[in-house]
Amino acid sequence: MAELSYKTLDWLRIAKDVGWDEERRFLMRCELDALYFHLYQISRDDVDYIMETFPIVKRKDEAAHGEYRTKRVILEMYDQMAGLAPTPVPSPKGGGENDGTYLVPDVGQWVTWLTPPPGDVRAAHRE
């Protein structure tokens, strides 16, 4: 997760010095967003709506990419995750359907969009 950790301009300079990839970080953030939408059981229509509440991100995406790329990628990942077999997870408040669990996509079956995938030694930063 070090690839996601820098937030300030000072860290950005260091990140560039060690070869961190902004496109890779973008895809990681989108994967995490799509996953959290599923974990919080947010419907696709609500995800679509929620993404529209970030006008600055939308404006920057449209200026840089000619589309609201962040929303498109998150929704594509969300849809792919929705196609995975469901697996039960503990309900955060112990409620849930029957036994204090609810079903979410089994992201253990998720095929990341990242090349190389997270944790792969090829993703190690140069010294």
Q: Is residue 126 part of a domain?
A: no
Structure tokens at 90: 């503990």
User: For residue 127, is pLDDT > 90?
Assistant: no
Give the pLDDT mean for 77-88: 95
Any domain includes 94? yes
Take residue 76 and report the two structure tokens written for it: 């594509």
Angle between helices 22-39 and 69-82 (to 10 degrees): 50
Does residue 90 lie in a domain region? yes
Q: Nearest 5°: phi and psi at 105?
A: -60, 140
**Domain-embedded: residue 71:** yes
For residue 99, is it within any domain?
A: yes
> Is 127 inside any structural domain?
no
Quick check: is 60 in a domain? Answer: yes
Residue 100 lies in a domain: yes
Report d(CA 24, CA 17) in Å as an integer: 16
Structural domain of 101: 2-119
Q: Please state the domain count of the chain.
A: 1
Q: Please provide residue 21's backbone torsions phi and psi, each rounded to the nearest 5 degrees.
A: -110, 115
> What pTM does this model have?
0.78
Q: Which residues contact 72 (CB under 8 A, 6 or more apart)?
A: none
pLDDT tens-digit series, residues 11-69: 666 666 666 778 888 999 999 999 999 988 899 999 999 999 999 999 999 999 999 99
What share of the chain in percent tops pLDDT 70?
73
Mean pLDDT over the full length of the chain: 83
Q: Which two tokens stand for residue 124?
A: 């190690």
Q: How large a percentage of the chain has pLDDT more than 90? A: 50
pLDDT of residue 56: 97
Q: Which of 109, 106, 122, 119 is nearest to 28 (CA)?
A: 119
DSSP per-residue string spanning 89-100? EE-TTS-TTTTS
Span 97-111, mean pLDDT? 83
